[in-house]
Structure 1
Amino acid sequence: MTTQRTKLLEDPELRPFLPLLWVAWSDGDLEQDDLVALRSRVEAMPWLRPAARHALETWLAPDAPPSQREMRTLLDTIHKVSATLSPERRRDLAGLGAELADEGTRRALAELEDALGGGAASELFAHLATAEASRTREAPPKPTAPFDVSALGAWLDGDVKMVRDQARTFLADPEHRAYGLPVPEYRAKVAHWLADLAARGFGQRAYPGITSDEKDLNAFIATFETLAMGDLSLVIRFGVQFGLFGGSIFFLGTEAQRHKWLSQVASLDLPGCFAMSEVGHGSDVQSLETRATWDVVSRTFVLHTPAESARKDWVGGAAQHARMATVFAQLEADGEGHGIHAFLVPIRDAQGKLLEGVRAGDSGHKMGLNGVDNGRLWFDHVRVPEHALLGRFAWMNAEGHYESAIANPKKRFFTMLGTLVGGRISVATASVAAAKVGLAIAVRYASARRQFGPEDGVEMPLLDYPAHQRRLLPRLATTYVLSLAVARLRSNFGQRIRDDEAGDTRELEASAAALKALASWHAVETLRECRQACGGQGYLLVNRLPDLCADVEVFTTFEGDNTVLLQLVAKSLLTGFKKRFESTGVAGIARHLLSKARVAVTEKNLLAVRRTDPEHLRDRAFHLAAFKYREERLLETAAARLRKRLEANRDAHAAMLAVQEHLVALARAHADRLALQWFDESIADCSDAQLVPWLDRIGALHALTRLREEAAFFLAEGYFDAQKEHALRKETTALLGELRQGAVALVDAFGIPDACLAAPIAFMDPAHPRW
């Protein structure tokens, strides 16, 4: 025990607590008041990682006082630490003991000072009585936020502020944070947290009108998004249980199925999973191989995995926790195939034992999200009852024949998948939330960490360097833009559920696919840049960034691979482009040509192309017009290229492959335009005169950054010239300098709880930036 406990003292995070440990045990007994005071100090530092908390608890166990040898080691450690500290940091350590400075404590500190001897070590407590006053007097004042941070935070939260605050309360508990655990422990901890969320009623929000009085899914998706500021394995388990598994019943099930199962799903009495993807077919859901054959005599379906390529793969919850799965399979009845349908298939009993005919495997250790028990499933002629078919859109009639409310098989398939669009929206919101956490850590660190400087020896904060600003602030601006864009997407989804949940969802699906791809790629790139911008500190697990980088990487893959999703978006845009002319004939063509002529007159004339004044470069109309032009031009040229190939009797599939990269670029341009447009519309509703200028700067920095990234396109199109491109760079630099003054306030407005933010580098005191 002695060797193990003294070994814990080597943890750098424990250094501020060493004098307090000495004081607590100086008389050989830990008093209750000492214990309360020390625990209070620990709770005031919610970013402490679990290992450091465990070390403190080990040293603060009242029934296990340290031996003389341990006290000597503690004393030696304090001596070593104090000898390497600057005077400012010695006073910081002394300040930590100031709250315990009653007379008995002072005597203990005096004994410690005598034991340490003179010199640098004695300075550790030389200013005990005046440490706090001295620090306040000598420290430069902390910068004042240039706007009301709480007002901006409340505006960002919008009409789901109460829901977000409830999720923040959950995240504010340091016990809901873990890293570096062995996979079995991590999975168990995540399962415990999920049960806690279910007990708090968070899962009930997923099924409005069934398990809650919510009018739509706004509250549930906002909960998911806010929880994504914390442990992402928990977020995925939360999404799988309540969003995918329960969501499949909510959207695809009959009223009877909803009322039978959803209360059990919401309470976690029925842990489930969502088995769609197969090892041989991921994004190509229509070609799944798993079979569900109808046995009319017994009125049962027989689920079977006909080949290894048909095994269900990457199923969250399947490896360990799930007792039931929503299984997507080809329904066969009367010797005829009816396409993909969803079935509720029990896979484990109440004791967790696999049921007959079901085989499960573990996906194994992954790049990230190791708190999620991803698994594989095989079915060997597993029989399920007739009501296992989720029957909102299709069912077996009294005579045992297949019936559907949607006659067209293709339309039926896309209607079924369209009801699950909420998953993509949730991933988009979680991506933005993860980017917010990374930026909060990196920006706060960069505002406090100093390095180099002018010849007078005063070191500069990293965030004062233009190169560092360019690494972080454009990404911060884009995160704000995407935050408001996905909020609009979430609201649109809620409106569809309220108004007509069975209606045409193609436009909503395209928007969800576009923003899911945009947001998840942005999260991956942003977190990687944040990690690098924090140098070696960004490489430490305790500072969260490595885990965030690893966990969000897969966001670009699940709920639809981004590249595949963008091709679906492009096809939707092409369909709409074609309908413009089919429905309006010659008049539609005339309007299109007139629109192009107006662009040439107003946007591509020589004056507009060369205009470089700041007022124009920051003009929202200019930004949005440019984004719209790029989208429309790529749409027009993609359609022309496809038409040319089809007229030459090229196979339609081959024609699409030939222009695939063009289609991806088109969809990305659409996503860019949509995000900026929804951002602009959102800030137009902001009535706070103090916030609007900052939101305008944010939008301008995002837009100018994207225009410069796509400068090759605009230069080739003659939309602007080289001189204007140079002016865009200068104006971007000016915006960086302006936003730098509010950068910390902008990340603070995200409202990330300290215990959730967790990284020690996010809590450096700007008044004393040296470590």
Structure 2
Amino acid sequence: MMASRTQNPGIQAPENDQENQQNPVTTLATTPWRRIERLSLHLNPFSSNHYDLSHQQMKMLICAARAKKIEVKVVELSSFMRGKHRDIQEQVFDYFKSRPELQTPLEISKDEHRELCMRQLVGLVREANIRPFKYVVEDPAKYFAIAEAVGSVDMSLAIKMGVQYSLWGGSILNLGTKKHRDKYFDGIDNMEYPGCFAMTELHHGSNVQGLQTVATFDPLTDEFIINTPNDGAIKWWIGNAAVHGKFASVFAKLMLPTHDTKGTSDMGVHAFIVPIRDLRTHKPLPGVEIHDCGHKVGLNGVDNGALRFCSVRIPRDNLLNRFGDVSRDGKYTSSLPSISKRFGATLGELVGGRVVLAYSSSGVLKIAATIAIRYSLLRQQFGPPKQPEITILDYQSHQHKLMPMLASTYAFHFATLHLVDKYCEMKKTHDEESVGDVHALSAGLKAYVTSYTAKSLNICREACGGHGYAAVNRFGSLRNDHDIFQTFEGDNTVLLQQVAIDLLKQYQQKFRGGSLAVTWNYLKESMNTYLSQPNPVTSRWEGEDHLRDPKFQLDAFRYRTSRLLQSVAARLQKHSKTLGGFGAWNRCLNHLLTLAESHIESVILERFIEAVRSCPDEGSRSALKLVCDLYALDRIWNDIGTYRNVDYVAPNKAKAIHKLTEYLSFQVRNIARELVDAFDLPDYVIRAPIGLQTAGEAYSQYTQHVGF
């Protein structure tokens, strides 16, 4: 234990004499430290008699002065980070840089923003010849890269593009068959057929099986009749519907006539192509009622609308029939045996929306972190008497706000890249195990990353003080536009429950000898280890080498997940006897959500560790290792109560984790500028005066923007 104490005395020396009295071994180890510290007070430039620093603050300053700064080669790190599709992103950036009239101004009305957004998308497709729909089919990773770049230009534009190509276009590709692709692909691709994705209803959103819109087959005319039976069934929040859409993929219950007393048979929710406006006049078609959902908190460049259908007739061929079809004589056929199987297959093909939201949310966090950190390195405030002011990022409190967030930004980058790779693999192979894995992983990452980014945007705004409140510095628009990411493509709370369901299924399969999903390999390989009692020896290890060991970090994350899973499974079994399945689930809901988040954090850390190992440049690898350690230890410290409750971490180790987390934040602060520069976001993309890379121009640019 003495060796671990003296390994880094600036981190782990005890804080008071009472502790020394309780531990004579520690007293021997720290006596030299006390002498060295007193001597350093005379030598350290911060040790002015008038500069009142706490004991802990002084130790941190000494550690920082002693620590050797990692030399980060921004070009090499950026090259490793940005991946093989950076070229297409630069094409997007260059196009909008060359067309300043298409850049979204700070102050713009809802109607003007909608028209500008449409011009932006048409210009990107027809002038810049960037065809996102082509990449949806051929190279989804490139499509996601375009979406991230477009979102940095205007998040409304990214959502409008997503509605057109990922949702409306994706429904044709993934739920339809060859006849649909042949008929609609070119029109969707070149923006002649702008469309909508009409799933959500006024009364139903996440519970898609509860949708009330009906599509009844009429065998006499070989048509489906689309009806909105009540106000609750009005299609609501439908992007592209209010102004620009000409078609909609309408999700409705497929009803077939029967010869019994029921009259019709419900075959479950299916998707139908419904024209909503005349292609020539652009007027709503007969039976289609269109209304505007009005001004929103954010994303006002997207024309969200409401659709009501009154006996709207469409040809039988307009049924998107990949998973179920109706013949001319009204017979239903499907390769899948039940409504639930067909429903699962239908929604499973729509996970691309969740993938792009997770990936794009990480991109939003990069922008916000860049602005906040660059400004925090620029802004100076207070300092020792008669000495220059220090930057606000030199304050421990500011590092505590921003450095773990920067570490999380890097962690999310690698995790969402992994998700994109898994999605692309799934689209090529259609392997059943891969489909299930991507479904759970996309649900979890979308929920976790978007929730974290939403909270972080507010923290970034606060970290920039009053200047963060200026619209020109973007936090307001980023925050408002991103906020809905937590809700659409699946409410985050619902998505985390889907992850929990998958985990419980995997848990059951483990004891039945079944195979586990790819993201559950760690339990497949060593579940007994993670569920065993903590080792009383390792629970007290507190040396820096041990705490920064990826094996310790990953084991800690996985142990927490395994314990949560084991305990919630036992609770569900207990409560189901008295409350039934639904009641038991509701009783354990918060426990289940914590389980899902813990699992996703384990996956994120695993991908980050793998990225560190695979980085070819030594300097970049050292920087990433530092950032990865901060991410891991900050998460462990944030949930230290869980580890303490089961004696996985002893009190002395918990204290060491806390101190090392603060120290790592200190070290990351030393390379924070290089880390945000490695995101490779040009000033004309950042567009916030206080976040410019050329810091000397920040205030002049800022004053010019407000007309000073």
Same fold (TM over 0.5): yes
Is the contact between residue 171 and residue 227 of structure 1 (CA under 8 Å) also seen in structure 2? Answer: no
Question: Whole-Å Cα distance in 2 between the matches of residues 163 and 620 of structure 1?
Answer: 34
Distance 2:178 2:128 in 1: 21
Map of 1:276 onto structure 2: 199
- C-alpha separation between the residues in 2 aligned to 1:593 and 1:170? 48
Corresponding position: 1:468 with 2:398: yes
Listed as ranges, the matches of 1:505-520 within 5 Å are 505-520=435-450
Deviation at 1:598, TM superposition (A): 3.9
Deviation at 1:769, TM superposition (A): 8.0
What is the match of residue 454 of structure 2?
524
Q: Select which of 334, 344, 351 maps to 1:421.
A: 351
Instruction: Look up the match of 1:155.
Output: 80
Q: Per-residue deviation at 1:762?
A: 1.4
* 1:391 maps to 2:318: no
Match of 1:722 among 648, 651, 658: 651
Contact 2:637 2:654 in 1 (8 A): yes
SS class of match (1:225): helix
Partner of 2:104: 177
Q: Provide the rounded CA distance (Å) in 2 between the counterparts of 1:354 and 1:151.
A: 54
Partner residue, 2:270: 341
Confirm whether residue 694 of structure 1 aligns to residue 617 of structure 2.
no
Residues 450 and 769 in structure 1, CA contact (< 8 A), matched pair in contact too: no
Aligned to 2:253: 330
Distance 2:608 2:680 in 1: 20
Deviations 1:371-406 (A, max 9, x none): 111111100110001111111111112433111121
Following the alignment from structure 1 to structure 2, what is the Cα–Cα distance between the partners of residues 764 and 266? 36
1:550 is matched with which residue: 480, 492, 503?
A: 480
**Alignment pair present for 1:570 and 2:478:** no
Equivalent-residue separation in structure 1 for 2:569 and 2:440 (angstroms): 18
SS of the residue corresponding to residue 338 of structure 1 reads strand
Shift of 1:682: 2.3
Alignment partner, residue 356 of structure 1:
286
Q: Which residue of 1 aligns with 2:49?
A: none
Deviation at 1:196, TM superposition (A): 1.3
User: How far 1:683 sits from its partner (Å)?
Assistant: 2.4
Determine whether 1:450 maps to 2:380: yes
3-state SS of 1:378 partner: strand
Change (3 A) 1:328 1:770: closer
Matched, 1:663 2:589: no
* Cα shift at 1:748: 1.3
State the secondary structure of the residue aligned to 1:641: helix
**TM-score (norm: length of structure 2):** 0.84
Tell me by how many angstroms 1:623 deviates. Answer: 0.8
Q: TM-score scaled to structure 1, two decimals? A: 0.77
Aligned to 1:486: 416
Q: Verify the 8 A CA contact 1:145 1:745 in the aligned structure 2.
A: no
Cα distance in 2 for residues equivalent to 1:279 and 1:398: 33
In 1: Cα distance, 2:402 partner to 2:182 partner: 48
Q: In the alignment, which residue of structure 1 is the partner of 2:53?
A: none
- Name the SS of the counterpart of 1:383 in structure 2: strand
Q: Deviations over 1:596-625 (max 9, x none)?
A: 764587x82222111111111111111110
* DSSP-derived class of the 1:558 partner: coil
2:334 & 2:531 partners in 1: Cα distance?
51
1:412/1:504 Cα in 2 relative to 1: closer, same or farther (>3 Å)?
A: farther
Alignment of 1:53-202 (within 5 A): 146-173=71-98, 174-175=100-101, 176-199=103-126
Name the SS for the 1:454 alignment partner. Answer: coil
State the alpha-carbon separation in 2 of the partners of residues 203 and 769 from structure 1.
Answer: 33
Larger radius of gyration: 1
Residue 282 of structure 1 deviates from its aligned partner by 0.7
Q: State how far apart, in whole Å, the 1-side matches of 2:568 and 2:70 are.
A: 47
Is the 8 Å Cα contact of residues 206 and 491 (structure 2) preserved in structure 1?
Answer: yes
2:407: which partner in 1? 477
Distance 1:232 1:219 in 2: 18
**Preserved CA contact (<8 Å) 1:172 1:753:** no
Contact 2:92 2:124 in 1 (8 A): no
Letter in 1 for 2:678: A
Partner of 2:17: none
1:243 corresponds to 2:166: yes
**Equivalent AA in structure 1 for residue 593 of structure 2:** V
State the SS of the aligned residue for 1:303. Answer: strand
Which residue number in structure 2 is paired with residue 409 of structure 1? 339
Preserved contact between residue 216 and residue 226 of structure 2 (Cα < 8 Å) = yes
Q: Take 1:302 and 1:753, find their aligned partners in 2: how far apart are those partners?
A: 52
Instruction: Determine if contact 1:539/1:546 at 8 Å carries over to the other structure.
Output: yes
Q: Which residue of 1 aligns with 2:601?
A: 672
Partner SS for 2:614: coil
Q: Structure 2: how far apart are the matches of 1:434 and 1:594? A: 36
* Whole-angstrom CA distance in 1 between matches of 2:82 and 2:504: 35
1:10-50 C-alpha deviation (Å, 9 max, x unpaired): xxxxxxxxxxxxxxxxxxxxxxxxxxxxxxxxxxxxxxxxx
Amino acid of the residue matched to residue 93 of structure 2?
A: R
- Render the CA deviation track for 1:444-491: whole Å, top value 9, x for unaligned: 111111111122331111111111111111101001001100000001
Q: Deviations over 1:714-733 (max 9, x none)?
A: 11111102222221121112
Could you tell me which amino acid in structure 2 is paired with residue 150 of structure 1?
Answer: V
Partner of 1:384, secondary structure, is strand
Separation in structure 1 between the aligned mates of residue 523 and residue 475 of structure 2, nearest angstrom = 48
In the other structure, the counterpart of 2:565 is 635
SS of 2:384 mapped into structure 1:
coil
Show structure 1 runs of 5+ residues with no match. Answer: 1-143, 586-590
SS of residue in 2 equivalent to 1:727: helix
Residues 1:680 and 1:624: Cα distance change in structure 2 (over 3 Å): same
Distance 1:765 1:222 in 2: 26
Deviations 1:726-754 (A, max 9, x none): 21121112111211121111111112121
Residue type of the alignment partner of 1:163: I
Q: Percent identity?
A: 37
Aligned partner of residue 156 in structure 2, secondary structure: helix
Relative to structure 1, is the Cα distance of residues 436 and 579 closer, same or farther in structure 2, using a 3 angstrom cutoff?
same
Deviation at 1:768, TM superposition (A): 8.3
Q: Distance in 1 between matches of 2:682 and 2:164?
A: 25
2:243 equivalent among 320, 335, 345: 320
**2:209 matches 1:286:** yes
Aligned-pair RMSD on alpha carbons? Answer: 2.2
Equivalent position of 1:644 in the other structure: 574
Contact 2:135 2:143 in 1 (8 A): no
Aligned residue-pair number: 617
